[in-house]
Amino acid sequence: MSGPQSWFVARARRRFAMTRECAVLLPGVCAALADPRQPGLDDTCLEKLLDWFRSLTWFDPTVELVQDNPCLTELISSVLALPEPSPSILSFTLQLAGILAASENRFQHLQQEKLLGRLFGQDGPRGRAVWEDASVRSGWVKGVHSMVHHQPALHFLCSGGGMDVIFALQGDPSLFVASAASQLLVHMLTFSVESETSKPLSPKDCEWPACAQMIKKHVEDSLQSGSASHIEQSLKLLISLFGSCYAAWTEVLWSDIAKQIESFLMEETLQAQHMLANLLLNVARSPVFCDTEGSFWALVTSALEHLTPVQACPLAVGLLKLCRCPQDVRIQALTVLLQPMDCILRAASQPLEYAGLLDESVSDPVTVESLLSSKTSCAGLLCQTLAHLEKLLSLKHLRVDLPCVSLLRSLMAILQFCNGLLSPASPLGSTISRNLINCFRVQKSALDVLAALSEKKGCDTLIGSLFDVLLAYLESPNTSPTVLKKAFQATSKWLVRLQELSCSNSQCQQTEKILEDVFVVLQKRLCSPCWEVRDSSLEFLTAMIKCLRDQDGFRQCLLSSEVPRLTENLLEDPESYVRASAVTAVGHLAFVTYFAPESPVAGNQCNKESTVAKLQEILSTDSEGFPRRAVISIFTKWLREGCTAQLEDTEQFVSRVIQTVEHDLDWEVRLGGLELVEVFCSQTICQLGLSECPYAPVSSAVTSSTPQNELLRVFCQAKLFGFLFRSLCDCDKPVGQRACDILIGLRGNFYPVSTLENPQEIEDSPAGRGIAWLQRTLRQGSLAQNFPTDGGNGVDFQDPESMMIALGAIDLLELHDELNKSSDHVEESPQSLLQDILATMGTIEENEVDCY
């Protein structure tokens, strides 16, 4: 190891080395932990202590840690000597010993002390009553896992009966212990093969290392045992192994177990069949098997045929996401995934009306039909299928073509089955219809897929029928609020698609009719007695405006409806969520009603000022935080898009807003005010020609001070600096951090880095003394008391000269570092942790005194 790498390791060792203060405290902590008379520590403290030891040992494999701190081995010995140790302390001791023994040097030291055999060997806790506690078994497994990073540890476990214990713990009644034991075996198998083999393993010449051979034989024996629990344990191990290890030797292991896995596919009574899909998918993902011809992919094909639809669907969708998968397997996987949708389409159609989704089925279609005919399984199968389809539709590159038109027909059939508007064309259709009527789960899933399909081409011919279905859902009083929200989302997506298609006169007429129908429904929904419906309606309106505000037809339909008036009325809604959504909707409506040059009410200054006044009133007086956050967000959006008129008006607007938000009790509102300030600063700097992009440092070519003086004047007049400097002491750290970032950016426009003011030179001036006092106050951060107002303590935040001095003199970078420190950087130090443990446990005398 040399160069930068050795420097990094040396630096890390210094950082994580035990400090002298910690070394002094550690013996007391160890003595307290080993004392059975002491009250127990909670698991969080013990886990933090283990984390500290992990960091100490990670970069330092030497034996000095245990030699220089004999209290560690004394702790282990003392706990082992207790007749009835606390389960939590014994679990901690097992894990600590494992962490220390992860280094071969320390492992040998602990062996010489004869501790490891008493912890992890036959003389360990597994023969005692305390072993019945799951936390002790968990600590044993975790300790072994930490220790097995060198061959002596492997040999110790294999020769001392440890492997049989781990095999037994795979079936532990505690799921956490069983899972940890399985993960441990995966780690040991991988480590054994990769550290103990001198040449790559091959099927013809395969000499497995001793430990790996033990695990491999255990897996093979379990798979052939006929015991459902043993088979399931080995399948879990294999799933984890092939999901995490892509070494070439895994192909050798697979070749030895593939026949047994194949036989499981034919056993309909095997309870663990659902795990076979996960195993095959993990193997398929491994690059080791990407070029395998014949055998493996034939097994995958067999699984797609023999697994039930519920079991095969996750395998199918996983295969479709793979980059490297034979095309015939990919097509077969798609066929499996689409079978339920194909069945729905056939059940909903007259014979020969539609060809269906699939030319042929992979597995027996009767199986899918029986699942859809059952009340208990119908919704579950469809929801699973629809969720997988939504994920596939979200992929940018899908390596197989989806039959989008037929899929859309099937989705519309599902939605019509659910609301009772489709007359079934077959007995199967009648059964499915009864199973799905008013099934909200399926409705929501189908609408999600419907929304995703809006981005796919080829569905244009069905758009009229599609909107008939969507409008039926939007109009129906039986549509639940959650389903209505999904229907609104799908409708907004398809309205965008509709606008893209509106070229010919006939399509324009169709679009106009659909928009009129949508706004009629929206007017009714905005008056709903259910607040969730009103809220979803406002969100839908906002989504439409965002996407369609530049479309003439949309604007005409919007402005000719009652929607703008009803939306503004909801600014006074009794529900705060609705008021917040109304604020957002009104803010976006303004782009159509007031800020668009071609708008018929663009010149109505009175209405515009009335709307702004209402929003400012909400910002000042609303008792809930959500509406106030929405107002500051809208004001920032208006400012960002240049909708607040000329610079002088904008300056007054920003000044009024920040004077309101700086006293707001909601930190997110104050943070929103800082975002408004940042946008205003950026725009002002650009307009005055000081910079082409926000907060870029001033070029050395700029010599005139006039733009800089004007910039200072504008910012002082808008009362920005008082807001920014006060925000540095905000009790909520994100506010202070954002204010500091803005001030550092602003300073770059007035001071090149090399010409910052020297605080020592300016303290003698009247303004300088105030700035020096401000610097001391800012260092107190959120603990600062009586922060100065304008003119207080000699600090005039509206004086350009004073603010110029402040920007140059105050060490904003130091403040930035302080604000970005973790709030618990002191409290969570190892020294503080050890002190807390000692304070919590105390001494025996102190505890006795407390009792009296």
- Retrieve residue 479's tokens: 């549509």
Please state, in angstroms and rounded to a whole number, the distance separating the CA atoms of residues 756 and 810: 9
Alpha carbon of 824 to those of 21, 123, 584, 739: distances in Å? 19, 42, 37, 21
Residue 402's SS3 state is coil
pLDDT, tens digit (0-9, with 9 covering 90-100), for 60-106: 888 999 999 999 999 999 999 998 899 999 999 999 999 999 999 99
pLDDT of 539 above 90: yes
Question: What's the pLDDT score for residue 354?
Answer: 58
295-306 vs 309-321: helix axis angle to the nearest 10? Answer: 140
| C-alpha–C-alpha distance, residues 608 and 590, integer Å | 8
Contact between residue 735 and residue 670 where contact means Cβ atoms under 8 Å apart: yes
Question: Backbone phi, then psi, for 139, in 5-degree steps?
Answer: -65, -35
Give one DSSP letter per residue of 42-87, joined into a string.
Answer: PHHHHHHHHHHHHHHHHS--STHHHHH-THHHHHHHHHHH-SS--H
Structure tokens at 472: 């039926």
Question: Is the model more confident about 559 or about 7?
Answer: 559
Q: What is the pLDDT of residues 549-568, one digit of tens each?
A: 988 889 999 999 999 999 99
C-alpha 455/C-alpha 730 separation (Å) is 45
Rg (CA), the chain: 35
Mean pLDDT, range 104-115, rounded to an integer: 94
Q: Does 794 have pLDDT greater than 90?
A: no
Which carries the bigger pLDDT value, residue 348 or residue 784?
A: 348
Q: What pTM did the predictor assign?
A: 0.85
C-beta atoms surrounding 417 within 10 Å: 28
Least confident piece of the model among 165-174, 336-345, 599-608:
599-608
Question: Considering only 269-283, 528-542, 688-702, 756-770, which range has the smallest mean pLDDT?
Answer: 688-702
What gap in Å lies between CA 138 and CA 134, rounded to an integer? Answer: 6
Q: What is the pLDDT of residue 787?
A: 62
pLDDT number for residue 846: 42
- Which band of pLDDT confidence, cut at 50, 70 and 90, is reported for residue 704? very low
- What domains does the chain contain, in order, with CATH numbers? 1-160 (1.25.40), 164-288 (no CATH), 308-474 (no CATH), 502-642 (1.25.10), 649-690+706-781+791-837 (no CATH)
| Residue 591 scores a pLDDT above 80 | yes
d(CA 684, CA 742): 14
How many other β-carbons are positioned within 10 Å of the β-carbon of residue 848?
Answer: 11
Determine the Cα–Cα distance for residues 172 and 331; give it in Å rounded to an integer. Answer: 41
Mean pLDDT of 821-833: 67
**Dist. CA 571–CA 586, nearest whole Å:** 8
- Smallest CA-to-CA distance from 73 within 107, 50, 47, 37 is with 107
Q: Could you give the CA distance from residue 119 to residue 153 in angstroms, rounded to a whole number?
A: 13
Q: Is there a contact between 505 and 496 (Cβ–Cβ < 8 Å)? A: no
Long-range contact set of residues 106-113: C-beta below 8 Å, sequence gap at least 24: 106/57, 106/61, 106/62, 106/63, 106/65, 106/66, 107/147, 107/150, 107/152, 107/153, 108/63, 108/152, 109/63, 109/66, 109/67, 110/66, 110/73, 110/76, 111/156, 113/73, 113/77
pLDDT for the residue numbered 340: 95
Q: How many residues does the chain have?
A: 852
C-alpha distances in Å from residue 118, one per residue of 104, 140, 156 = 18, 12, 12
pLDDT confidence bin for 847, thresholds 50/70/90: very low
Q: Which is more confidently placed, 386 or 810?
A: 386
| pLDDT (0 to 100) of residue 698 | 38
Tokens of 823: 């709030």
pLDDT of 142 reads: 97
At 789 the pLDDT is 57
CB atoms within 10 A of CB 468: 14
Q: What is the pLDDT of residues 217-252, one digit of tens each?
A: 999 999 999 899 999 999 999 999 999 999 989 999
Residue with tokens 């008379």: 37
Res. 606: pLDDT tops 80: no
Closest listed residue to residue 608, CA positions, set 620, 626, 618, 596 = 596
- Calculate the alpha carbon distances from 234 to 218, 219, 364, 589, 719 in Å: 8, 5, 30, 61, 69
Instruction: Please give the residue that has the higher pLDDT: either 194 or 290.
Output: 194
Nearest in space to 723 (alpha carbons), one of 657, 665, 780: 657
Decide if 230 contacts 275 (C-beta within 8 A). no
Q: Which residues contact 448 (CB under 8 A, 6 or more apart)?
A: 386, 390, 486, 490
Does position 185 have pLDDT exceeding 90, yes or no?
yes
Each residue's pLDDT tens digit, 447-459? 999 999 998 887 8
CA 535 to the chain's CA centroid: 25
The stretch 462-486 carries a mean pLDDT of 95
pLDDT computed for residue 181 by the predictor: 97
Q: Is the pLDDT of residue 594 over 60?
A: yes
Distinct helix (H) and strand (E) counts, the chain: 44, 0
